Amino acid sequence: MNIGLTFDLKEKIFTGQGSPEDALEEYDSPETVNGISAVLESLGHSVVRLGGGSEFLENVRKSKVDMVFNIAEGLGNYRSREAQVPSVLEMLDIPYVGSDPLCLAVSLDKPLTKKIIKALEIPTPDWRVISSLHELHKVDWHEFSFPGFVKPAQEGSSKGVRLNSRVDTSHQAVEMIERLLKDYRQPVMIEEFIGGEEITVGITGNCPAEVLGIMRILPRKQTGDFVYSLEVKRDWENLVMYECPAQISTQVAQKIEEYSLKIFGELGCRDFARVDFKVNRNGVPYFLEINPLAGLNPKSSDLPIMAGLLDIPYKVLIEKIYTAALDRYPNCVTLK
């Protein structure tokens, strides 16, 4: 088969003046593109690098591809940007790996996702969304229980999530929200801070999807409540330890697995995703967010790290994701 690969390389993205320091964080590295390409080629396929943005639009019409492996994050400051490439692929009736436009758009909007999770009666920290300075200055902070956690409402890859994102007073909250409104030009969410353990769950497959693993993220040095922030992720080899399978009680693990698969299904995720939780000191898992376009860097992304700890080679992980997508398209299966 001819497999198209869609992606947005950091080195090709232009960021305008005034963009936040982490503006390029979610975009791909050559290491990821080369890693996925190598796996697909080892399976006997020809890989066509379609790229992203306008380059993708030019290439996808002239390239004859049977299927697309999509890891493109989309461009611009739009809340539906992750849906850009899948929308075009659906318009052109080209099969692709990964979740559809609706799932990707909803999941990137953290407050909207949390409304769905709350309706499913799955615990998630209480939250409030602030869209403007005018709205911010009208907030009655007596109605909010501190400590809180402040982050952009429509970002991924821990953009805007820093060590100082935890706020203990209304003064700190206002200061942080003002900065994020200015830097990210989108609504800001403040949610209840849940102390406890950071957990991430990998999911692959469809009908039924299955939990790949439950991974616990542990700080190498314990100094108060741990925050799995962007600073930590950038220096993960020195600052954290990954534990998979997570050494947690069977009861908590079963509840996390139940919640993860339910969320995956209700949001209409496909092929692969990662779900993040915080488990409080009473063993209650709180949903934080879901990423149906989880990073696939072979060395530094959580999902491949999780697979490695479970003795699942990177090649097998990518093949699992690709095969899950292939099985959704009967006409493609005959081309294997």
CATH number of the domain to which 146 belongs? 3.30.1490.20
Domain for residue 311, yes or no? yes
Q: What is the pLDDT of residues 17-57, one digit of tens each?
A: 667 776 677 788 899 999 999 999 999 999 999 999 999 99
Domain for residue 106, yes or no? no
Task: Please tell me the predicted confidence (pLDDT) of residue 12.
Answer: 72
Look up the domain containing 29 and give its range. Answer: 2-97
Task: Please tell me the predicted confidence (pLDDT) of residue 159.
Answer: 82
226 and 321 part of one domain:
yes
137 and 238 part of one domain:
no
pLDDT in tens, the chain (336 residues): 999 999 998 777 767 666 777 667 778 889 999 999 999 999 999 999 999 999 999 999 999 999 999 999 999 888 999 999 999 999 999 999 999 999 999 999 999 999 999 999 999 999 999 999 999 999 999 989 999 999 999 988 778 788 889 999 999 999 999 999 999 999 999 999 999 999 999 999 998 999 999 999 999 987 778 888 888 888 888 899 999 999 999 999 999 999 999 999 999 999 999 999 999 999 999 999 999 999 999 999 999 999 999 999 999 999 999 999 999 997 765 555
Domain for residue 15, yes or no? yes
**Rounded CA separation 36/272 (Å):** 14
Which domain CATH number covers 283?
3.30.470.20
185 and 226 part of one domain:
no
Task: Please tell me the predicted confidence (pLDDT) of residue 297.
Answer: 96
Write the secondary structure of the chain as one string of H (helix), E (strand) and C (coil): CEEEEECCEHHHCCCCCCCCCCCCCCCECHHHHHHHHHHHHHCCCEEEEEECHHHHHHHHHHCCCCEEEECCCCCCCCCCHHHHHHHHHHHCCCCEECCCHHHHHHHHCHHHHHHHHHHCCCCCCCEEEECCHHHHCCCCHHHCCCCEEEEECCCCCCCCCCHHHEECCHHHHHHHHHHHHHHHCCCEEEEECCCCEEEEEEEEECCCEEEEEEEEEEECCCCCCCCCCHHHHHCHHHHEEEECCCCCCHHHHHHHHHHHHHHHHHCCCCEEEEEEEEECCCCCEEEEEEECCCCCCCCCCHHHHHHHHCCCCHHHHHHHHHHHHHCCCHHHHCCC
15 and 61 part of one domain:
yes
Task: Please tell me the predicted confidence (pLDDT) of residue 16.
Answer: 66
Domain finish residue from 192, 215, 238: 192
Task: Please tell me the predicted confidence (pLDDT) of residue 28.
Answer: 85
226 and 165 part of one domain:
no
Task: Please tell me the predicted confidence (pLDDT) of residue 13.
Answer: 74
The count of structural domains within the chain is: 3
205 and 309 part of one domain:
yes
72 and 54 part of one domain:
yes
Task: Please tell me the predicted confidence (pLDDT) of residue 278.
Answer: 97
Other CB atoms within 10 A of residue 292 CB: 24
Residue 225: exposed, middle, or buried by beta-carbon count in 10 A (0-12, 13-18, 19+)?
middle
Task: Please tell me the predicted confidence (pLDDT) of residue 327.
Answer: 93
**Rounded CA separation 327/336 (Å):** 10
Task: Please tell me the predicted confidence (pLDDT) of residue 157.
Answer: 74
Q: What is the pLDDT of residues 113-143, one digit of tens each?
A: 999 999 999 999 999 999 999 999 999 999 8
202 and 322 part of one domain:
yes
